[in-house]
Structure 1
Amino acid sequence: MDIALGKLEHVNARTVWQSEARDFTPWLAQNLGLLGEALGLDLELVQMEAPVGNYACDIEAKENGSGRRVIIENQLESTDHTHLGQLVTYAAGLDAAVIVWISTGVREEHREAIDFLNRHSRETVDFFAIALELVRIGSSPPAVVFRLAASPNAWAKNAAARPEVSSRMNAYRAFFQPLMDELRDKHYFTNARIAQAQSWYAFSSGVTGFTYGLAFTAKGELRAELYIDVEDASRNKAIFRILDEQRIQIEQQLGEAAAWEPLPERRAVRIGLVRPGTTIEYAQANSEVAHTWAIQRLLKLKEVFGPRLRPALAAIATVADAPAGQDRTTFD
């Protein structure tokens, strides 16, 4: 039997992005999900060209699950000592917890340097070296491949951190890990791979300023929600009003009533679905029930609100800036 197979070809990155600053960095900022898949992290853009003294880091982002600050430094050529120094400088200047170095070629001495930094940094700080590749078959458009050249030993770092984590925090981690795995592998809802020892988790919506969250609250509830914080109180409230005008239709699509919370004393707003009487102890004893409820509600929130996020953001583009209120407090 003759089977026609294409030949995989490598493409020079400079034929796609002529300029790192003008072409590649803006493209990456709009496609952080692709990088997140390689890293196993759920990333959300904060800003490009984050200032550090007289210099600027290419991209500042955050990991939605933990809120950790992520910095990304790009090179459309092989790694060099200059960029290694810049990477460490930016990490210190921005107090980053996840440091990512992307280049079209990772030299052995720089891979070893990243491994060294991972071995000798505290368990909450992770360094990655990523090899950027472009490939295609025949005349197809080029496809981006991010290959891990150096990364933290997650198992070793997690093991080092565990003795200081309470049994309750470990119970939260045990609840979120299988839930996260199913959301990632079955529903393609997130890129995150490692659950944190905390009572809440936030997932990227794909639109900056909007996250889907899941939390155990102090009131003994399990809560799934859309959290809105575009870093301006007046814009957040305006988006909330736009969505609230669609409340009847939204709740019909959700299949249940939602908790609409404008949070007047805070900068952010939120809209949630609540399961009363669901503490972490209940969830441990009834994990299938709690997991099923959580996954169904998160998927439903994305289905119903997802198509509304960008139009709502566009509709408030003319809202004047107002003094910011309190910083985000993720959950009660």
Structure 2
Amino acid sequence: MNELGTLQKIDLRKVWTHEAHDFTQWLAEEEHIKLLVDELDIEIENIKPEASTGRYNVDIVADEVDTGKKVIIENQLEYTDHKHLGQLLTYASGWDASIIIWIVKDYREEHKQAIDWFNRHMPETISFFLVQIELWQIGTSKVAPKFNIVAQPNDWAKTVKVSGGQNLVSELKLQQQEFWTQFKEYANNNNTSLSLNGKAKPQHWYNINIGTSRAYITLVFHSKNNLVGSEVYIPKDDLLFQQLYAKKDKIEQLLGFDLDWQELPEKTASRIRAFKSCDPTNMEEWQEQFEWLQQTTEKLHKVFKKYI
């Protein structure tokens, strides 16, 4: 029988000595903040660390992709306290934020109760999250971060709630969740070779493991751009992208179609994308879109596994 390792919790300050200079800068990097927003079922852009407007200074400010709502993140690598709770409310007011995230080492019950109270009594367009950050290690392995949601709005995973239930974004997110749910059912009924273990969530992407931590496949539902896509997503590994690009002709020959190679030097990740122009909000076209997604993704998975 194989010997199993033991999880060991690591002191946050051993990795991030300074909250602003170390942890905030680490979190602001695209592949790191993605760990957080994936947990919260949101997607953000225009990420700015240590942002200020007038006398209001917040650790991270960003925009929610689907709605343009302002997102603020306040970090505290200690137990929650009244001072930071007050700062959180001040920053939320100064930035007119709709999504407010408080990341902490640990929390006191009265502060969790306060966040829960805000979510019950604030307008439904304003959402508060209390998130615990932990570091874990097995033996001499790399230290791994883990985000735990301590408090969040009721039914957040189901929809972005608004008064009267008439919000188009809410309907879009629910449709995205239904799209992934039906795609998984379609692909599994058609003997797919893909491992579709991820939960269908109300978001415009769905990730598929490719067997390595260096890259994964992301399926996308883009209503704004009128397309569905399947892409190899490479977080912060310029060398891997260049190695694959050097084999571009061979890879595309094996696939039987061309790819959109996006190095994205201004960002911390790159992608290699195939896409189909269509209207993903039109449910009558879903079967055709599902067929294309399954066939294309199976080819990407098979070919790129040889080179990654």
What TM-score bracket applies, with the shorter chain setting the length? Answer: 0.5 to 0.7
- Residue 80 of structure 1 corresponds to 81
Contact 2:280-2:286 at 8 Å conserved across structures: no
Q: 2:259 & 2:3 partners in 1: Cα distance?
A: 55
Residue 144 of structure 2 is matched in structure 1 by 143
Counterpart of 1:120, as a letter, is H
User: Runs of 5+ in structure 2 lacking a partner?
Assistant: 185-193, 208-219, 231-248, 261-272, 301-308
Structure 2 partner of 1:121: 122
* 8 Å CA contact 2:159, 2:174 repeated in 1: no
Residues 44 and 202 of structure 1: CA distance in aligned 2, closer, same or farther (over 3 Å) = farther
Q: 1:193 aligns to what?
A: 201
In structure 2, the residue matched to 1:99 is 100
Q: Is the 8 A contact 2:176 2:201 kept in 1?
A: no
Secondary structure at 1:141's aligned position in 2? coil
Q: Which structure: greater strand fraction?
A: 2
Q: Which residue of 2 aligns with 1:153?
A: 154
Q: Sequence identity of aligned pairs in percent?
A: 36
Residue type of the partner of 1:179? F
What's the offset of the Cα at 1:223?
3.0
- Which position in structure 1 is the counterpart of 2:19? 20
Kept in 1: contact 2:56–2:94 (CA 8 A): no
1:29 aligns with 28
Deviation at 1:112, TM superposition (A): 0.5
Distance 1:120 1:102 in 2: 21
Which letter maps to 1:68? K
Contact 2:101-2:131 at 8 Å conserved across structures: yes
- CA drift of 1:15 comes to 0.8
Residue of structure 2 in register with 1:50 after alignment: 51
For 1:102-155, what per-residue CA distance to the aligned partner results, in whole angstroms no more than 9, with x for missing partners?
110111011001101111122222111011111112222221111111111126
Secondary structure in 2 aligned to 1:77?
strand
Secondary structure of 1:76's aligned partner:
strand
Q: Deviations over 1:220-239 (max 9, x none)?
A: xx43489xxxxxxxxxxxxx
Aligned partner of 1:4 in structure 2 is 3
Tell me by how many angstroms 1:177 deviates.
Answer: 1.6
Shift of 1:62: 2.5
- Note if contact 1:32-1:45 (Cα within 8 Å) is conserved in structure 2: no
Q: For the structure 1 residues 14 and 40, does the alpha-carbon distance in structure 2 shift closer, same or farther, using more than 3 Å as the test? A: same
Name the CA shift for 1:215/1:279 in 2 (closer, same or farther; >3 Å): closer
Q: What TM-score do you get using the length of structure 2 for normalisation?
A: 0.64
2:223 aligns with one of 215, 236, 239? 215
Residue 179 of structure 1 corresponds to which residue in structure 2?
179
Question: Structure 1 length normalisation: TM-score?
Answer: 0.60
Distance in 2, matches of 1:180 and 1:92, equals: 36
Distance 1:250 1:45, change over 3 A: farther
Secondary structure of the residue aligned to 1:75 is strand
Equivalent residue letter for 1:66? T
Q: Distance in 2 between matches of 1:279 and 1:41?
A: 19
Contact 2:58 2:74 in 1 (8 A): yes
SS, match of residue 113 in structure 2? helix
